């Protein structure tokens, strides 16, 4: 795919983000992230989603540097982990992510999990944005309840909310809330994290046959037409390539309506569940090497 054809989406802060990117969750830092990101960039992706808690920011940064593509042509997202919440800790963590990525600025920086001193973190992010270290700032995993709890305390409205989203979990109430404030939804698990039941849904298979596409492309195209920002992850060349070949066909309104009926209203992860913060804090230690 040539880079000219990647559509962009306008954020509420004036920046434009490539509508499709490349996800890097669960790609290890043993050279695999470097290879996958380098390949994705060579194939035309211009948007990479990482996080300090993925432990691969250094390889993402090296792949970007070695790609030879001018820095300003690549959109880089990273995220702050729960251990670094509060103003001071967040400010230091932003510097550490910049160092690991080998960048002077990050295009989009997110509060990865919405618990604890979220307002303190947000103030640190606003300050880093004013200083030019972060271009856009946003949140992740905010349900309507968590959004209403924290965002009214913020001076700036987040540019995005990155949440679980795929045909099985279409986030209708949240999308209404976000649309009212011109906040864009980014999808994590856009392919249901490789959910075979989703790929094998009869309507998805029928559309794949009709358009000579695969199930992944139908799912990603549906999400794109729903104005959701996507960044599928794969370590396989053929899928890295095919996942972004979704701009040469269009689903009809009737087909979109059919795909909307796959919504179950539920995802794999419920950020409102009691104990989530503790479980997540126990899952990743981003300071293990300090």
Catalytic residue set? 54
The least distance separating ligand NDP from the CB of residue 23, rounded to whole angstroms, comes to 2
The least distance separating ligand NDP from the CB of residue 162, rounded to whole angstroms, comes to 5
Tell me the C-alpha distance between 181 and 265, whole Å: 22
Task: Give the CB-nearest residue to ligand NDP.
Answer: 23
Between 194 and 265, name the residue whose CB sits nearer to ligand NDP. Answer: 194
Cα torsion angle, 184, 155, 287, 94, sign? positive
The least distance separating ligand NDP from the CB of residue 105, rounded to whole angstroms, comes to 19
The site for ligand NDP (CB under 6 A) is made up of 23-25, 49, 112, 140-141, 162, 188-194, 216, 231-236, 239, 242-243
Between 91 and 141, name the residue whose CB sits nearer to ligand NDP. Answer: 141
Between 68 and 175, name the residue whose CB sits nearer to ligand NDP. Answer: 175
The least distance separating ligand NDP from the CB of residue 269, rounded to whole angstroms, comes to 8
Between 26 and 227, name the residue whose CB sits nearer to ligand NDP. Answer: 26
């Amino acid at each position: 795919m040539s880079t000219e054809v990647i559509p962009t989406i306008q954020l509420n802060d004036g920046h434009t983000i490539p509508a499709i990117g490349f996800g890097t969750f669960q790609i290890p830092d043993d050279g695999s992230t470097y290879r996958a990101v380098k390949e994705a960039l060579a194939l035309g992706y211009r948007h990479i989603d990482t996080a300090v808690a993925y432990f691969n920011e250094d390889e993402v940064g090296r792949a970007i540097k070695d790609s030879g593509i001018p820095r300003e042509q690549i959109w880089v997202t990273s995220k702050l982990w729960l251990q670094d919440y509060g103003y001071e800790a967040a400010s230091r963590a932003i510097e550490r992510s910049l160092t690991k990525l080998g960048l002077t600025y990050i295009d989009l920086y997110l509060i990865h999990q919405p618990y604890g001193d979220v307002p303190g973190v947000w103030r640190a992010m606003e300050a880093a944005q004013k200083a030019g270290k972060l271009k856009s700032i946003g949140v992740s995993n905010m349900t309507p309840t968590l959004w209403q709890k924290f965002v009214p305390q913020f001076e700036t409205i987040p540019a995005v909310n990155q949440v679980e989203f795929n045909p099985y979990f279409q986030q209708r109430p949240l999308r209404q809330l976000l649309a009212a404030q011109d906040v864009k939804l980014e999808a994590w698990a856009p392919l249901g994290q490789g959910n075979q039941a989703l790929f094998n849904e009869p309507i998805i298979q029928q559309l794949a046959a009709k358009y000579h596409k695969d199930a992944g492309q139908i799912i990603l195209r549906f999400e794109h037409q729903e104005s959701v920002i996507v960044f599928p992850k794969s370590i396989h060349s053929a899928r890295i390539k095919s996942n972004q070949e979704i701009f040469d066909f269009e689903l009809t309104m009737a087909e979109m309506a059919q795909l909307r009926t796959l919504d179950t209203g539920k995802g794999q992860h419920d950020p409102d569940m009691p104990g989530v913060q503790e479980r997540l804090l126990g899952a990743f230690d981003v300071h293990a090497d300090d």
